[in-house]
A and B are shown apart, each in its own frame.
Chain A
Amino acid sequence: MGITDLTSMAEVETEARRELNERLLRLREEASYYCYQCAKCTAGCEAHKLLELEPHRIVALLKRGLVQEMVNSDIIWTCLSCFKCKERCPQKVAPVNILFALKNLAVASGKEVPGDYTAMLTSAMGMGLIQDVQTVTTRGGETRTREGLCLPPISVPTDPAKFQMTVMTVAMEKV
C-alpha cells in the first residue's frame, strides 16, 4: 500500500460504512414490509438440516434491528448461497442477500475471516484467480499438469500491478 492509500483511508472507511449500513437498512425495510414469516425459505433451506440455519429467523432478527448480534454469530457463515430462499419467497424477500450483507459487515468490521476465504482472497488479489494451477492425478494414479495436457496458458491479468490498483481499494475497505 502506498502513502496515498494511507492518507485517503479515512475517506474510504466512511464510504464503506455508509454503504453497508444503507444496504442493510434497505433490506430491513423490505423485510419489514413484506415478510410474513411463512418460513417457506427455511423449509427449503439447504443449510437447515445439517447446519441449523433458519432463514426466516434471520429475517425476523433483521426486522428487530438485531444486526450486531447476527454479525457476531457463526450462523451467518452456514449459508450455501443456493438461492432457493430467494427463488421461493412468495413476497420476494431474499434472505440470501441479507446473509451476504451481514457477512460483508462482519468482515468489514474487522472480525476474523473464517476458513479458507483468506487464502482465496490473497490468491485472487495476487495472481487473479482463487487458486493457482494444480497438478492432478489420473484415476490410475499418474500425475498430469495443465501444460502436459496440452491446454493453453491460463488467462490472468496481464498487468498485475494495475489490476491490483483497480480491485485493491475495494478489498481493503474496512468499517
Chain B
Amino acid sequence: MRLGLFPGCLMPTEQYGYEISLRKVLPMLGVEIVDVMDLSCCGEPLKSINQMLTLTLSTRSLAVFKKEGLDALVPCPMCHLALSEANRIVKEEEDMARRLNEKLSAEGLDYDGSVALYHTIDLVHDHIGLEKVKDMVKVDLGSPDMATHYGCHIIRPTELGRPVDAENPQKMERILEAIGARSNDYAEKLDCCGGPVLPVHPDTAVTKTGQKLQAVQEQGFDGMVLACPWCHKMYDSKQKKAGETVGAKLEVPVVYLTQLMGLAFGIPPGELGLDLNQSPVERLLQKDKEGA
C-alpha cells in the first residue's frame, strides 16, 4: 500500500514522537509512506475564524494529492475531519465545488473529491489487518492495561463518515489486544482533552486535561494510549501543568499507538521517539521487562 503523508501542523512542528514512530512502524506492515510537498494547514484549527478558509485550505491540499495521484495517510484526527468534510462538500455541492476550483486554478490545481483518506487507527485495523500486526509482535509487553483515548474528531460526527464508532469505539482496543496489551473501558473514555479551547481559554483547556488524567490514574491504568497529536500535546506535554490545575500529582505514561506498536515489534525505544514523551513512559518499559 502506497500512501502520501498529510502531516498537518502539530505533528511535523513539535509532535515528533508520532511522526518518528509512524515512519518506523507502518513500513514494517507493508505501508510505503510517500512525502508530498506543497501542502499546508488543513484549516480546521481556524474554522472558528473563517469556515470558508478551512474549506479552501483543505481542498487545496487534497488537490495536491490528486495531482500526485496518491491517497492520503492523515495521522491527525482534526486534519482527517477537515479533509473528510472537504471531500463531502466537493462531491455533493456542485456550486461550492465550482467556486473552490476557480480559486485553485490560480495555482494550476483542481479537485473532484477523489482522494481516499486513512487515519492511523483504521489503516491498521481495517486495511492492514490484525493478523498481520500479530505476526510482527516480537516482544511481550507484559499486558499493560491502557486507557484508550481516540480524539473527538476521529469518532464524530458519524454523519460525515468517521472511521471509528462514535459512542463505543473499539478499534484501538482490538489493536492493543493484537500487540499484547489490554484495555478496560472507563466512564471518561469519550471525554475531550480540552485542546480546542487552548487558544482562547488555556486554563480551562488544561483543567479538562487534568480531570481526565486524574480519572485514568485513580482507576489504576498502566498508561494512556492515543493517536492524535493535539490530545498528546495536552495529556503528555502539558501533564505536569494539568496536575497543578486539579491538585493532583499526575504520573500517567502517555504514548502514541504507533510507539506502543513499535515496542511490541521489538524496536528500541530511542528509535520510536519515546525520549520525547514528557510523561513517565519508562514505567511502561519496565513493565515490558518484567513481562519478558
Residues of A within 8 A of B (CB): 19, 46-47, 50-51, 77-84, 86-87, 92, 94, 100-101, 103-104, 107-108, 113-117, 120-121, 124, 128-134, 136, 138-140, 144, 146, 149, 151-152, 154-159, 162-163, 165-167, 169-171, 173
Asked if B135 CB lies within 8 Å of chain A CBs, one says no
A155 and B38 in contact, given A82-B152, A115-B200 (Cβ under 8 angstroms): yes
- Closest chain-B Cβ to A159's Cβ sits at a distance in Å of 7
Residues of B within 8 A of A114 (CB): 199-200
Contact between A120 and B199, CB atoms less than 8 A apart: yes
Contact between A100 and B47, CB atoms less than 8 A apart: yes
Asked if B136 CB lies within 8 Å of chain A CBs, one says no
Asked if B170 CB lies within 8 Å of chain A CBs, one says no
- Closest chain-B Cβ to A71's Cβ sits at a distance in Å of 13
Stretch at the interface among B48-56, B110-118, B178-186, B215-223: B48-56
- Closest chain-B Cβ to A130's Cβ sits at a distance in Å of 5
Closest partner residue, chain B, to A83 (CB atom): B156
Closest partner residue, chain A, to B166 (CB atom): A87
Partner of B46, one of A124, A151, A154, A162: A124
Task: Give bound CA distance, A33 to B145, whole Å.
Answer: 47
Contact between A129 and B200, CB atoms less than 8 A apart: no
Contact between B278 and A155, CB atoms less than 8 A apart: no
Stretch at the interface among B10-18, B86-94, B123-131, B259-267: B10-18
- Closest chain-A Cβ to B216's Cβ sits at a distance in Å of 17
A155 and B49 in contact, given A80-B197, A131-B14 (Cβ under 8 angstroms): no
Contact between B16 and A151, CB atoms less than 8 A apart: yes
> Which 10 residue pairs of A and B lie closest in terms of their CB atoms, listed nearest first?
A83-B156, A128-B40, A115-B200, A116-B199, A82-B152, A115-B199, A155-B39, A134-B14, A129-B9, A46-B192
Which DSSP category, helix, strand, loop or mixed, fits chain A's interface? Answer: loop
Number of interface residues of B (CB under 8 A): 64
- Closest chain-B Cβ to A89's Cβ sits at a distance in Å of 10
Interface residues as binary, B27-41 with A (CB distance below 8 Å gives 1, 0 otherwise): 000000001111111
Residues of A within 8 A of B190 (CB): 84
Contact between B7 and A80, CB atoms less than 8 A apart: no
- Closest chain-B Cβ to A152's Cβ sits at a distance in Å of 5
Name 10 interchain pairs, CB-CB below 8 A, sorted by A: A81-B152, A81-B196, A83-B157, A86-B157, A87-B157, A87-B167, A104-B50, A129-B41, A139-B282, A155-B5
Asked if B120 CB lies within 8 Å of chain A CBs, one says no
A166 and B106 in contact, given A113-B49, A130-B9, A151-B12 (Cβ under 8 angstroms): yes
Contact between B50 and A170, CB atoms less than 8 A apart: yes
- Closest chain-A Cβ to B209's Cβ sits at a distance in Å of 11
Partner of A129, one of B13, B49, B152, B201: B13
